[in-house]
Structure 1
Amino acid sequence: MGLGILNTKEHQHVFGTTLLEEKEPEGVETSRLKVDPRNPQVILVPQPSDDPNDPLNWSLLKKNLCFIALCCGSSISTCAGPMLSSAYLDLEVEFSMSLTKVVQFGSIVMIMGAPALWIAGSLIPIVGKRPLILMSILLEAVTSVWGAKANSYGSMLGARAVMGISNGPPEAVVAGVIGDLFFLHERGFYSSMWNMSQLIATNISPLIPAFIVVRLGWRWAFWILAICSIVVFGLIFFLAPETHYVRSLQGDDISLPEDVADNMNQEEKGNVLHAEIPPAATSRNPSPSHEKSYIGQLRIFNGVTLGISFWDSLTRPFVVLLFPTVLFASFGYTMSICYSVLLSNSVAQVMGEDPYNFSTIELGVLYVSPIVWTFIAFLIAGRLSDYFSKNMALLNRGVFEPEFRLVLIIALLVLGVMSLIGYGLSVIKHVHWFGPVFFFGMNSAAACFGNTAYISYVIDAHRTLAAESLIAFGIFKSVLIYILLYFITDWINNQGVKKTFITLACLNVFCCLTAVPMYINGKRTRRFIQSIRVLNRLQVQEMEQEREREAMEMRNED
């Protein structure tokens, strides 16, 4: 048992288990493996190729600028959902509709994002990531203009529905880019950065429109969103080249040679893989290709990626939901976001009435709290995740297990329970407004820790299917949040603030505790997936298709 993780009964290859630290039993050959130049003890996973166009070989500055630009695209799309939260009371009067109906302006963005995310994710292996995110940002600008000119409830609902469609591709793109640009030991930090950008966007979008609504009217919130979308389009166009790259998969799983493993005891065997890297596994091409010029990298379309059909790609997000690991992480990820979204959508209902009676601007200013909490969590969560992973791998004879990422869920458990119960009790006890505002922000920090844990876990456990897994996350999240948003207003009215948020706190405890059996049995669960032919075929098929595409590209280069 490696650090509490049960080993598989037979000594066989398990996807996700990887040699990360050069602290292995005598006889393991690691001299030909590429290592982190800033920390030579850390082996680079996946192993980068010798191609200068491989995104893993880009300079750190280029990687960061690309990732920040794409995070801006994802954030501007995220802003669309909750941007009207602080204006719900004004829209209730404007369209003569109940608050339950007006809340649909936010929830319909979520539900329409689900099919868009699904289709966009299916197109990525075929057309790449760059054209999808650029087109989605343009569509958001167009629908923002539509929303600004809407004169009826139906027209506004239609504008928001199409805006939801534009929100799908950025989430699918950025989720996959983390694995394209960064190595395993870096992904915790960048997953946390993406989570921070998402959560801050969720919370800043009601803040800024609150001032716009009071000074200029709610329509100007849409005009300004359209302008920001065009600016972000420019950032992505000039700073974010295509990151979709076909690489050899043989360099991803690094472990002991079979003859060395045979001389180890059963527990030691269970902590490593059963395959040795072939000599050519570290390079995609036999010789480096010429680096593309900056102008060449600005091409929107970089050609069709062969080897996978659209219909095959379309079914994959639903198939990966049959993986116990992905289903577990999807549910946990969705629920950690749900609490923040439900709190955000209940603010106008709770804080806009007695005894607080907050104005539209005051409701918007409340979102400063989650912004601050999220930024603090970002500074801690990603680095902490990578720190735990590297040090636990060191204690585990240099072998990394994806389950090490789940340790961060402890923070979600503690902060989540404190924030939900604290918010409910402070409101029902009519304490000073600082109390509910403090706990409101704390919940965003909890979500940041939780999201970093779940996303990093799936990316590390199923790297070849990371994009499909994260798309499944998004679909799961959109559908569940839409259902909960539809009932949250009436739920609070019928059950009261105290019972509602204590119930949510208990649900958070349950979700977090499911991580305990998954941590202990995660490796056996991954092995179980490989033993089921229908499930394992998807992982193996992806590897075979990667190798076919690699061979085809090498023939074309010759």
Structure 2
Amino acid sequence: MHQSDTENPREDIHRVLRWSFGVLNPKDTVHVPGSVLLLVGHNPQPTSSTPSDVNDGAPTPSAEEACEESNRNKKTTADGNIILDPQPDNSPHDPLNWPKWRRDAALIALGFYCMVGGGITPLLAAGFTDVADDYNVKVSRVALTTGLIMLGLGIGCALVSPTAIIYGKRPVYLASAMLFLATSIWCALSPNFTSLLIARVVQGIAVSPVEALPSATITELFFLHERAFRIGIYALMLLGGKNLVPLVSATIIHRWGWRWAFWVVAIVVGACGLVLFVFASETFWDRTPGKLPDSTRNKNDRQGEGYLQTDEKTSDMGGQASQANSNQGPLPSNRPSCEMVNLVETLEEQNTSSITPASSSSEIRGHQDLEKKIADHHGSPPRQNPYTNRMAAHPRATFLGHLKPWHGRLRVEERWFRVAARPFFLYAYPAILWSAVVYSCCIGWLIVISESMAVIYRNPNTYHFSAFSTGLVYISPFIGGVLGTAIAGKMSDVVVRAMARRNDGVYEPEFRLVMIIPVAITTVVGLMGFGWSAEERDAWIVPTVFFGIISFGCSLGSTTAITFCVDSYRQFAGEALVTLNFSKNIFHGLVFSLFVTGWIETDGPKIVYIWIGVIQLAAMLFTVPLFVFGKRARHWTSKQGFHQRITSTG
């Protein structure tokens, strides 16, 4: 028999469902990273702990009253049905408050750049034999031009991510475009095969931001309910580039030779750099509330420390919070939040303040003056990050102000080598490890197929296609990728909202994993069918259709892996994307490029792709235990304090 809410509110907090659509959800996993209250209009279970010593004997409101109070003070979409997560500040500089056209323009600008960057890996797929003839090397050796650019991508991800975290993403994007332009010219002018290989490694480093940063940028620009669709657009542009660019390059190689493929890329990259300069503004905005030393905070401040709300952000579907909710203040410090306390983990991971208990009185007064200035200006709470406080205190910037290439160091307290080491510690997180495996396979198999295109389609003993005809084969995976991305984004959001609605409005990242069912079916069938039909010398349309099916499943899988990873540990979004891409480029792309072409020449595509299909199926089956125990795993990583070890790594 449970006590009443007023007598013992902790009973209400722990009175949660044990299962949420198959997700193990016991009472000790109430507040963990990634679990958030997404939908209003329900009677959600309380999600915040209530320490007995917080209120010093003051009466504690019931759980229902806390939920109602929390919902009244949360910004929602214009229709009032979806709680904005994360909650925005009131400053016009907050990227979530930018006009919808500006946020979407930034996404499209990055998308086109990612299309070119994604397509540079299989750029020579249809021209392997031409490069081999030009440099008098074996076709199997030309596959190194793909493997080594992936080596550069892996190295580059580890370099650009900490740089972007500390100095900003905008200067990294602009520097990437300039280096990409230079290396494209280098490849076009390479006098020998060795020079071409070195150029491709450096080119991979230049292109690496298109894989390491855009997903984190999307997380900073869009809300949870908008995110999957936008990540789907990014995945479409990235994977579309891997399918569309080889088609265009095949036409160029057929008419003017493989060197002209790089000349055209250089021209396009120059145009993309100008578009990035205009539309890709800095999107960083710290959402960790600042705090003063204990001596400067009153009793109510200390009482409220146990009741931290989730990240703060803005906007209805287009970036503006509903008028009815836009002027609501924060929760009273003595009321528990109804939302999952994601910010608790964020504070533990970023618990670095420029003001300490040992600070002088002048420093404390300066900190208080800055807080008051921000509050008077826009009503936004002060943050731990000096850059965000400085931006929030300024009036609305002009268009020319947004064109500034660099806005100063974003994280003064961070050390570059410490940030660079974090992605490699994230393998200890089961959700990120799973995402790395799935993402590596989904993107990696498309690269493997691109390396075997010349062996299968241009071989005189099979289809004997020309470079142009081989390039036309990429129409099939392009169509499959478009369909897969369209379904992945919208269907994932629909499924998640439906499951959250049935789960008292609470969203669990594991709900995203339902999309792995069609991923497993299409990729395994496509891989095995592609190799089998190619060896049996079926009509060329048969393996080509299977190629499209593979691309469809890989688009679903890559989008699902990225979204699940970011939603599970959004505080590590930037570092996690490095983990995913490093795995894909080094452990999959580079390794398979060393032997897969020779393996096909020795055993034939049938044996090779059947084994690849088995590997893919085994990887997908790991989704089952993650779906069941994923929330427990997130709770375990939080309880073990992995985040503290990562952030303190020197």
**Superposed pair shares fold, TM > 0.5:** yes
> Are positions 1:326 and 2:432 aligned together?
yes
RMSD, aligned CA: 2.5
Residues 200 and 57 of structure 1: CA distance in aligned 2, closer, same or farther (over 3 Å): same
- Distance, in Å, in 2 between the alignment partners of 1:484 and 1:491 is 10
> 1:362 matched to which residue of 2?
469
SS at structure 2 position matched to 1:10: helix
The counterpart of 1:199, out of the listed 236, 239, 251, is 239
- Distance, in Å, in 1 between the alignment partners of 2:112 and 2:29 is 45
Q: CA deviation at 1:112?
A: 1.1
> Are positions 1:127 and 2:167 aligned together?
yes
> 2:20 matched to which residue of 1?
2
Structure 1: state its 5+ residue gaps: 263-268, 543-558
> 1:499 matched to which residue of 2?
607
Q: Deviations over 1:505-550 (max 9, x none)?
A: 11111111111110110000001001213x13157879xxxxxxxx
Contact 2:310 2:342 in 1 (8 A): no
Residues 98 and 403 of structure 1: CA distance in aligned 2, closer, same or farther (over 3 Å): same
Please say which structure displays the higher CA radius of gyration.
Answer: 2
- Distance, in Å, in 2 between the alignment partners of 1:297 and 1:258 is 36
Partner AA of 1:473 in structure 2: L
Instruction: State how 1:163-312 maps to structure 2 within 5 Å.
Output: 163-248=203-288, 251-252=309-310, 283-285=380-382, 289-305=394-410, 306-312=412-418
- Distance, in Å, in 1 between the alignment partners of 2:310 and 2:468 is 51
Residues 415 and 465 of structure 1: CA distance in aligned 2, closer, same or farther (over 3 Å): same
> 2:454 matched to which residue of 1?
348
Residues 432 and 79 of structure 1: CA distance in aligned 2, closer, same or farther (over 3 Å): same
- Distance, in Å, in 2 between the alignment partners of 1:234 and 1:153 is 32
Instruction: State how 1:432-443 maps to structure 2 within 5 Å.
Output: 432-443=539-550
The counterpart of 2:631, out of the listed 523, 527, 537, is 523
The counterpart of 1:101, out of the listed 141, 158, 164, is 141
Residues 403 and 253 of structure 1: CA distance in aligned 2, closer, same or farther (over 3 Å): farther
Contact 1:34 1:44 in 2 (8 A): yes
Structure 2: state its 5+ residue gaps: 1-18, 45-63, 290-307, 313-330, 345-374, 384-391
Partner AA of 1:15 in structure 2: P
- Distance, in Å, in 1 between the alignment partners of 2:335 and 2:209 is 46
Residues 78 and 258 of structure 1: CA distance in aligned 2, closer, same or farther (over 3 Å): same
> 1:512 matched to which residue of 2?
620
> 1:35 matched to which residue of 2?
76
Higher mean alpha-carbon deviation, 336-345 vs 179-188, is at 336-345
The counterpart of 1:20, out of the listed 38, 43, 48, is 38
SS at structure 2 position matched to 1:468: helix
Q: CA deviation at 1:283?
A: 4.0
> 1:316 matched to which residue of 2?
422
Contact 2:446 2:551 in 1 (8 A): yes
- Distance, in Å, in 2 between the alignment partners of 1:11 and 1:191 is 28
Q: CA deviation at 1:79?
A: 2.0
Q: Deviations over 1:57-97 (max 9, x none)?
A: 11111111001111222222222211111100111111111
> 2:481 matched to which residue of 1?
374
- Distance, in Å, in 2 between the alignment partners of 1:258 and 1:395 is 30
> 2:525 matched to which residue of 1?
418
SS at structure 1 position matched to 2:81: strand
- Distance, in Å, in 1 between the alignment partners of 2:134 and 2:557 is 38
Residues 56 and 445 of structure 1: CA distance in aligned 2, closer, same or farther (over 3 Å): same
- Distance, in Å, in 2 between the alignment partners of 1:359 and 1:399 is 55
Contact 1:144 1:226 in 2 (8 A): yes
Contact 1:317 1:469 in 2 (8 A): yes
Higher mean alpha-carbon deviation, 357-366 vs 336-345, is at 336-345
Residues 539 and 245 of structure 1: CA distance in aligned 2, closer, same or farther (over 3 Å): farther
- Distance, in Å, in 1 between the alignment partners of 2:607 and 2:187 is 36
Residues 116 and 355 of structure 1: CA distance in aligned 2, closer, same or farther (over 3 Å): closer
SS at structure 2 position matched to 1:307: coil
- Distance, in Å, in 1 between the alignment partners of 2:606 and 2:201 is 33
Contact 2:427 2:433 in 1 (8 A): yes
- Distance, in Å, in 1 between the alignment partners of 2:133 and 2:474 is 23
- Distance, in Å, in 2 between the alignment partners of 1:190 and 1:98 is 42
> 1:463 matched to which residue of 2?
570
> Are positions 1:490 and 2:598 aligned together?
yes
Aligned residues: 528
Contact 1:46 1:251 in 2 (8 A): no
- Distance, in Å, in 2 between the alignment partners of 1:115 and 1:397 is 44
Q: CA deviation at 1:493?
A: 2.0
Contact 2:35 2:342 in 1 (8 A): no
Instruction: State how 1:4-153 maps to structure 2 within 5 Å.
Output: 4-10=22-28, 12-22=30-40, 23-25=42-44, 26-27=64-65, 28=67, 29=69, 30-37=71-78, 39-153=79-193
Q: Deviations over 1:94-135 (max 9, x none)?
A: 111111211111111101111111111011121100011111
Residues 84 and 243 of structure 1: CA distance in aligned 2, closer, same or farther (over 3 Å): same
Q: Percent identity?
A: 31
Q: CA deviation at 1:259?
A: 11
- Distance, in Å, in 1 between the alignment partners of 2:279 and 2:227 is 20
- Distance, in Å, in 2 between the alignment partners of 1:152 and 1:325 is 44
Contact 2:288 2:311 in 1 (8 A): no
Residues 2 and 433 of structure 1: CA distance in aligned 2, closer, same or farther (over 3 Å): same
Partner AA of 1:5 in structure 2: V
Residues 322 and 133 of structure 1: CA distance in aligned 2, closer, same or farther (over 3 Å): same
Contact 2:85 2:223 in 1 (8 A): yes
- Distance, in Å, in 1 between the alignment partners of 2:235 and 2:72 is 36
Residues 120 and 443 of structure 1: CA distance in aligned 2, closer, same or farther (over 3 Å): same
Q: Deviations over 1:459-498 (max 9, x none)?
A: 1110110110011111111102110111111111222211
Contact 2:422 2:575 in 1 (8 A): yes
The counterpart of 2:536, out of the listed 419, 424, 429, is 429
SS at structure 2 position matched to 1:321: helix
Higher mean alpha-carbon deviation, 423-432 vs 287-296, is at 287-296
The counterpart of 1:532, out of the listed 620, 623, 640, is 640
Partner AA of 2:38 in structure 1: L
Q: What TM-score do you get using the length of structure 1 for normalisation?
A: 0.90
SS at structure 2 position matched to 1:83: coil
Q: CA deviation at 1:355?
A: 2.9
Residues 253 and 222 of structure 1: CA distance in aligned 2, closer, same or farther (over 3 Å): closer
Q: Whose helix fraction is larger, Structure 1's or Structure 2's? A: 1
> 1:548 matched to which residue of 2?
none
Contact 1:248 1:284 in 2 (8 A): no
Partner AA of 1:197 in structure 2: M
Partner AA of 1:432 in structure 2: A
Partner AA of 1:307 in structure 2: E
SS at structure 2 position matched to 1:527: helix
